[in-house]
Structure 1
Amino acid sequence: MSTRRKIPAPEANPETAAYWQAAASGKLVIRECGHCGKLHHYPRALCPFCFKPATGWREVSGRGKIYAYSVMRRAETPYAIAYVTLEEGVTMLTNLIDCDFDGLQIGQAVKLVFQESEGGPLVPMFSPV
């Protein structure tokens, strides 16, 4: 198992405040466009597909698969970053925790977990199922 590294507290802004509030409640939310119906992540008010300001929040399953990953072994505390594609189709940049870095594989199933940040909100991350 990997040792957890310290996560700096993310700063909320008006576009991401609801995202961090949901994370504090143990939920992962992403934006859904009310105009074109597409989901997107990182949270932003304008849809990146149709550029309409008609986005709202949608809770997602927290299940996905590793699309790509990289292990940072030269860091003080080694860690793994990854693109995870959620069951809902959105791909998000995240960290992989509670896992054997040598056992990670593209396409591997992962589930949502939350890690505390240093003096800030819980941060959504993923670990192998």
Structure 2
Amino acid sequence: MKLMPFPFRYLASLLVLVALFATSCNQENKVGETNMLYGTDSKVWKTDKETTATGDKVDQTSADKKTELRFFANGNFNMTSPSQTMQGTYTFDQTAKKITLTPTGSSNTLSFDVVNLTKDEITLRAPDGSQMMLEAD
């Protein structure tokens, strides 16, 4: 058996390490399949954390902690909090990583970039750069 010259073995090892690092970094901030948003029929998401556009943590009030966002498989959503309720329809473009909420009776839409979507958590980024991290209930 012939041994590889030292520089080639070094280069091969370095390439393997780079590939492993890239793969492990890619596991975070993954946008999964659409059904991760609503489960089998519907799924409730609760606010876990919020950050400002500059990345500063936003302190959660007790009302924030009680806010729930439910996505249904049929394209409807509702959001409830101690101070308000909102319902309407949503579209989720998994390829573009965007979700758009259209409240009932409103011509305005709320659009967010989906930074991360797994079966247990979702991170939404608003147009101003602020983010909201939600956990599945």
TM-score range, shorter chain: under 0.3
Please identify the structure whose Cα radius of gyration is greater: 2
- Richer in helix (by share): 2
**Larger relative contact order, structure 1 or 2 (CA cutoff 8 Å, min sep 6):** 1
- The alignment's TM-score, normalised by the length of structure 1, stands at 0.27
